[in-house]
Structure 1
Amino acid sequence: MADHGAFGALLESLYAATLEPQRLEEFCARLAGATGSHIGAIMVQDVHRHGGRLDLVVGADPVEAARYEREFAADNLWVRRSVDQLATGAVLDSDDFVPRGELRRSRYYNEYLRTGDVEQSVALCAHFDGRNVVTATVCRSGRLPAYSARQLELIRQVAPHWVNAYAIMRRLEGLQERVSSLEAALEQTPTAMFALASNLRLLRANASGERLLSQGVLHCALGRLSIHGWQDVILQQLLSRTLHSGARAGDAERLVLKDGDGNSLALTAHPLPPPAATGDAALFVFVQPLGAPVLLQLERALQQLFGLTEPERRLAVALLRHADLALAAQECGIALSAAQTRLKVVFDKTGERSQPSLMRLLAALHALCP
């Protein structure tokens, strides 16, 4: 059986790294220490192009790690010989694929491994997609005996946890990218957006929202979103009703107000799921001046650049205006299901694959239109 103390310490640093990626270095160091290795690394290898890199190395000169990607990834005999055995969750011992005598005659050993005093390695495969493999790898000196059964048992016990932790990291990274993309899209949309807390305190506004505040169309009074004059009572009633009436996330309350100059403002309030903390957003408010000009130049650009039909152009512009497909469908006078089908055609014609990326494209084109 593997040492329970070492095993527990490895898992502690490994799962902590899902939220604190810098702790992967601690995991590699502990894995190396627990297996009598002097080097631990996180490697990514492209088995088709015979390229690779060391994303993290402990116990070795960083300059040598850089040399691996630049000069020696294609010469890695261990990876090339083990391709048929690569699989998510696999544990690969270099001695099972390349005899030591053959290794010592290779360029890979004499010009690279030898400088780091490495003759044996064991790789734990976190992910393999048929082309790229991600491994946690430990290496040891040829002056030491091969890894013992106890050490290999510890590595095999760690392997499925490494797979799980890496999958969590990829998922969190993907979610973060989606959140960042959505925030970027919302920042660029011409529709004003405001995020309110459960006490209706204004948490943030996108660029268009900040513009309405700076122009005095809307106000932030005592930390709350407001409008000039008696209509503020109606606005506060709408916000409170949306928040406390038990409306489900995705429902919306709508209102048309007049600003100080008599211009109409279309306001839509969307409740969110119950916030996890007091300072979390509980309500999104979208505000669109109804007197805003129709984006004819953008429609023209979408027709010329991507061949969008009139219904497709109208949906794209409405989506940019509202940042909400349901509201865009309502403006176009079509059902949400029809809008979803039409949006897929817009994706195909523009080459975009998500609503945030399409909105970034539309916002960029709109900024370029005279």
Structure 2
Amino acid sequence: MQNDQGPTFPSDHNAPAEWEVLNALIGEIYDSVLHPESWNETLARITSTLCPLSWEAAFILWESNSPPSARFVAATGLAAGVQEIYTAVYAGNHPWSRKLMRYGNGSVVDSNDIITRDEFLETEFFRNFLAPWGIDRMIAVLLDKRGSERLGLMLPGPGDRDVERLKRGLRVLAPHMQRAMRISDRLATLDLAAGAARAATDAAPFAIFSLDDQLNILSANSRAVRYEKRGFIRTAHDRFAFNHPPSQKQLLDLVKSEAPTGVAFQALGPSGAECPVLVARVTRQSAQQLGGVRLGASLIVTLGSAPGETPVVEIDRVAQWFGLTPAEARLAVALAAGDTVQDYAALRAVSVNAVRFLLKGIFRKTGATTQAQLVALIARLPGPGDG
């Protein structure tokens, strides 16, 4: 249990024991940046460490007076339903909230300095909301501002207790909490941007790799694995390589280039199947981090051609050999690559019946009567360089 004076600190503000306690709290504040779900526990540690007896509640919230609104970020020691009642009835519309909005970021504010206790005891906010808990004073830390909203740490309690130790500790913690909140916002923004980028690359109808100068794979989308299964590439030990030696040489030649440039070519698989490739040499990104600079991608590799992921050269060759239309040739090559009628219909966003209608035309022109025969016919076609 806490005593009336809170934790025992030496009277000297610079005493090592007090700084040890505050340093531990600072560490927890920065840990909460990486684990936002732990903010409630961090607030509980702050109240138990710095607050006098009966000052057990603390919360962080965004609040606005125009229009009146409030959003709780974290809280500890609040009775059930308090957040809902405050948000619905009192948000941005009581003396403490209105007067606190005037203070700058980083301020540690005592409610007794912005409204006298006698005046506050006459307010509807106290009489109808705070009186049952004996709360008539609050220490606040203004942390950030966004438009008409202000972010604050609020610690309410009974005003007959000594809160000097609390205010002194909060003056030390305030700048760290400000930095932590800004870092948390930045990380959340980066997470959202990274998530959107991942979703975009996964939606692409071809494989996308980002590589560094040593061909280490920094990222790859969900379609990448199918090209390894088909034998076009290998990714052992998270390093990228083409199985087709001429393709690998083009990649290595591009690594040696210092200026941003690009190259397009057809890679070959073990059965002679072709895969269109585009490799771009980009200006290498870098980011400052503790201990130095972290380097990012310098090569972007895409494999496949959308939609259907079949090489244009292969489609044209099949179309010319059998006299197929482009639509028929795309379907024939897709089936030869292992897609089903249902897969192709879903990829092209057409009905299965429409695909089957195309397939009848292919059978008629090629002489095949089954999909297996069609695949065998295409497999026996001469290569692009054959006579």
* TM-score tier after normalising by the smaller chain length: 0.5 to 0.7
Partner of 1:315: none
* Deviation per residue, 1:245-296 (Å, 9 max, x gap): 3747xx35524015467656132154756999xxx9775312243629xxxx
**Equivalenced residues, count:** 286
Distance 1:255 1:139, change over 3 A: same
Partner of 1:285: 301
1:34-183 matches, cutoff 5 A? 34-36=50-52, 37-83=55-101, 85-142=102-159, 144-145=160-161, 147-148=163-164, 150-183=165-198
Q: Which whole-Å CA distance do the structure 1 matches of 2:258 and 2:273 have between them?
A: 31
Query: Structure 1 residues 165-174 or 93-102, which shifts more?
Result: 93-102
The one-letter amino acid of 2:277's match is A
Partner of 1:238: 250
Assess if the C-alpha contact under 8 Å between 1:256 and 1:265 holds in 2.
yes
The one-letter amino acid of 1:128's match is K
Deviation at 1:140, TM superposition (A): 1.6
Deviation at 1:122, TM superposition (A): 1.1
CA RMSD for the aligned pairs? 3.7
Assess if the C-alpha contact under 8 Å between 1:9 and 1:30 holds in 2.
no
Assess if the C-alpha contact under 8 Å between 1:120 and 1:146 holds in 2.
no
With a CA cutoff of 8 Å and minimum separation of 6, indicate the structure with the bigger relative contact order.
1
1:186-225 matches, cutoff 5 A? 186-195=201-210, 200=215, 205-210=220-225, 212=227, 216=230, 218-220=232-234
Q: Identical aligned pairs, as a percentage? A: 20
The one-letter amino acid of 1:54's match is F
Deviation at 1:123, TM superposition (A): 1.1
More helix by share: 1
What secondary structure, in the 3-state scheme, does the structure 1 residue paired with 2:185 have? helix
* Deviation per residue, 1:30-70 (Å, 9 max, x gap): 33231323111111101211211322111222432232212
Distance 1:203 1:10, change over 3 A: closer
Q: Which whole-Å CA distance do the structure 1 matches of 2:79 and 2:258 have between them?
A: 59
Assess if the C-alpha contact under 8 Å between 1:239 and 1:269 holds in 2.
no
Partner of 1:356: none
* Deviation per residue, 1:304-348 (Å, 9 max, x gap): xxxxxxxxxxxxxxxxxxxxxxxxxxxxxxxxxxxxxxxxxxxxx
Deviation at 1:200, TM superposition (A): 4.8
Assess if the C-alpha contact under 8 Å between 2:228 and 2:235 holds in 1.
no
1:223-262 matches, cutoff 5 A? 232-243=244-255, 245=256, 247=258, 251-259=260-268
Deviation at 1:164, TM superposition (A): 1.7
The one-letter amino acid of 1:291's match is V
What secondary structure, in the 3-state scheme, does the structure 2 residue paired with 1:17 have? helix
Partner of 1:17: 32
Distance 1:258 1:75, change over 3 A: closer
1:265 to 260, 276, 283: 276
Highest CA radius of gyration, 1 or 2? 2
Structure 2 unmatched runs, 5+: 1-11, 290-295, 306-310, 314-346, 352-387
Deviation at 1:130, TM superposition (A): 4.4
Distance 1:269 1:73, change over 3 A: same
Distance 1:173 1:97, change over 3 A: same
Q: Which whole-Å CA distance do the structure 2 matches of 1:241 and 1:113 have between them?
A: 73
What secondary structure, in the 3-state scheme, does the structure 2 residue paired with 1:136 have? strand
